[in-house]
Structure 1
Amino acid sequence: MSRPTTVYLGVPRSQPDGPAGWQRVLHNDAFAAGYSEWRGGAAWVAYRATPRPPGARGLARPDRFEHDWRTLRCLTIVACVRHEDYTGSGYDRGHLAPNHLIATRYGRKAQHQTFLMSNIVPQRPALNRGVWQRLEAAEDALSNRFGPLWVFTGPIYDARPAYLPGFKLIALPSAFYKILVREDSAGGAPRMLAFAVPQDVEGGEDLRRFLVSVADVQRWTGLDFFHQLPDAVEARVEARIDTSSWGF
């Protein structure tokens, strides 16, 4: 079976010396990840959130997360990011490509790939189990309401980030972004909805508090999304915070 297309309107571009650094693109069955060896986590993850099939149910979670031998950190056995590196750190192993959505759309093998450490970033428990979980649920609901969505998600770092305790140099994000995109049914410009959620949330905040523009996300991450759009269209849709098209 061929792998589904996961990246919409071009693989995100970045400057090697920018905040995201150089990325190695890792392709999985249901998502792609732009992995930053420098940061010890993905700068972006991209996937397609299709409507939930009738009767689809979540699958049991694997017992542990697995290191990803495709990363240079693991290939060279230097600072390979492993399950144990997060243990006792005070941070959750936060999914970028979400376990539940990938499991219900793409099956068990794809779900297990979301437990690769290349898909994991440090998230404080109040974020991971609160706002981020609700944002993933909203993404699930919006894909059922509007049809297939294209999603980009990842971390935002300070200029000089702190690091997870230990010697692996796993950078701690200050915030996280999620960009939802759907194609216009009339053939117009794509509709975009973007969020940026700080690491230090309490967990129960209204999701609308975190709405931003795609241009904001690009400025904070140094990534260039959707560069295959005509320049004028790209500038216009990325500058908007378009809640009316989403009923949000």
Structure 2
Amino acid sequence: MATKRAKKKTAKKRATRKKTPTKAKPTKQSHWLRNCLMLLALVVLALSGIYYFGSFETRAKMEQIALSAINGPRTHAATPAPVSMLLDLCYDAIPSSEGLVVEGSELGRDADTPFLAGVPHSRHAIRALPQPSYTNLFSERHLQAAAIALRLNDAPLQRAKFDETIQVDARVAQLKPEALIYDEWRPRPIAPAKALIGQHGARGASDAQLATNYAPMADSFADEVWAKAMRELTLRYPKRFGEVWIFLGPIYHQGNAKLPSGIPFPDSFYAIALDLTDEGGLRALALRIPSTAESKDLNKYLTSISEIEAATGLQFLPELDFSIRDTLGNYVSPSVW
């Protein structure tokens, strides 16, 4: 019996020894990867040291190189959304990415208005059509919105059903949806329903349906270029910056061709985004997008607030000090935020 037990124990020990995995020897690939990571860490440390201890000019140049390297893939239409979001975080972490910032510490205190630094002035007759989710400064001359003002923040998004049926605005009963139809032109929303619903729920969905929020657009423009701009300004910017103020509207040239209803064809559409920084500064981004545009690269449409004012007859930010308004109004951002 003792001999049998001893044999069993010996067999178990042999089996255990066989099962014990042998340690894998490091390969050339693992050595190569480790060396690359060490080299990368040393490069990062060296660059951090140069940036931290370097002169203002050196830091500015390094920031500009970093912004240029990040901005291309960050704003490219083919970049996947998760990658774009990651690149946005890197971009926003670079101090000079804010662009021109002027004094704005006293602005944005009134939570009940979508206007920043006052209601825009106009050379032409406009009529304020307030809604819970936006205020429409309506042009009686063109029977179209001159400017739609939105105020959007990073609150949790709400949900609501959206019926795409356009509703006549009782305050402008003469504007019917069929008045905005001709050939390839169709009535499409200026302020996007998704942003209005996300911020105001069912009330935003109802506001988005009003005919006064619509303008004639080609489907290709509305579904591609304008949709891209609205996704950036009205959905991503509030998440990135906490709160933004936005103006949207069409631009007409004198002598523009008109639809059979007498409403002129928009030459282009504009979008202005305003942001108050954490330090209390004010910055602005302006886009002017031709109604025939096909490219979704928004950097191609960067302009100044002053150019939009000259084309629309509006004056934005009227409560700002003249010198500050003039400086900010003439500024053209080198890139979309």
- The TM-score bracket by the shorter chain reads 0.7 to 0.9
CA distance in 2, matches of 1:157, 1:82: 20
Counterpart AA for 2:162:
R
TM-score (norm 1): 0.85
Answer yes or no: is the 8 Å Cα contact 1:32–1:46 preserved in 2: yes
- Percent of pairs identical after alignment? 26
Q: Closer, same or farther in 2 for the Cα pair 1:106/1:57, shift >3 Å?
A: closer
1:38 paired residue number = 141
Does residue 149 (structure 1) correspond to residue 244 (structure 2)? The answer is yes
Answer yes or no: is the 8 Å Cα contact 2:159–2:202 preserved in 1: no
Q: Closer, same or farther in 2 for the Cα pair 1:234/1:127, shift >3 Å?
A: same
TM-score (norm 2): 0.64
1:212 paired residue number = 303
1:185 paired residue number = 278
Select 1:235's aligned residue among 311, 315, 326. 326
Give SS of 1:9's match: coil
2:291 paired residue number = 199
1:130 paired residue number = 224
Q: Which has the higher contact order (CA 8 A, sep 6+)?
A: 1
Structure 2: segments with no counterpart, 5+ residues: 1-110
Counterpart AA for 1:198:
P
Structure 1: segments with no counterpart, 5+ residues: 16-20, 75-79
Deviations 1:34-63 (A, max 9, x none): 11122111111001021251xx36533214
Q: Closer, same or farther in 2 for the Cα pair 1:102/1:63, shift >3 Å?
A: closer
Counterpart AA for 1:70:
R
Give SS of 1:171's match: coil
CA distance in 2, matches of 1:92, 1:52: 32
2:29 paired residue number = none
Give the alignment of 1:28-177 within 5 angstroms. Answer: 28-53=131-156, 56=157, 59-71=160-172, 74=173, 80-87=174-181, 89-139=183-233, 140-165=235-260, 168-177=261-270
Deviation at 1:243, TM superposition (A): 4.3
Q: Closer, same or farther in 2 for the Cα pair 1:216/1:181, shift >3 Å?
A: same
Q: Closer, same or farther in 2 for the Cα pair 1:127/1:52, shift >3 Å?
A: farther
Pairwise CA RMSD of aligned residues?
1.8
CA distance in 2, matches of 1:183, 1:243: 19
Answer yes or no: is the 8 Å Cα contact 2:158–2:201 preserved in 1: no
Deviations 1:122-147 (A, max 9, x none): 11112111110000111111110111
Tell which structure's C-alpha radius of gyration is larger.
Answer: 2
CA distance in 2, matches of 1:57, 1:106: 7
Deviation at 1:240, TM superposition (A): 0.9
**Equivalent residue pairs, number:** 226
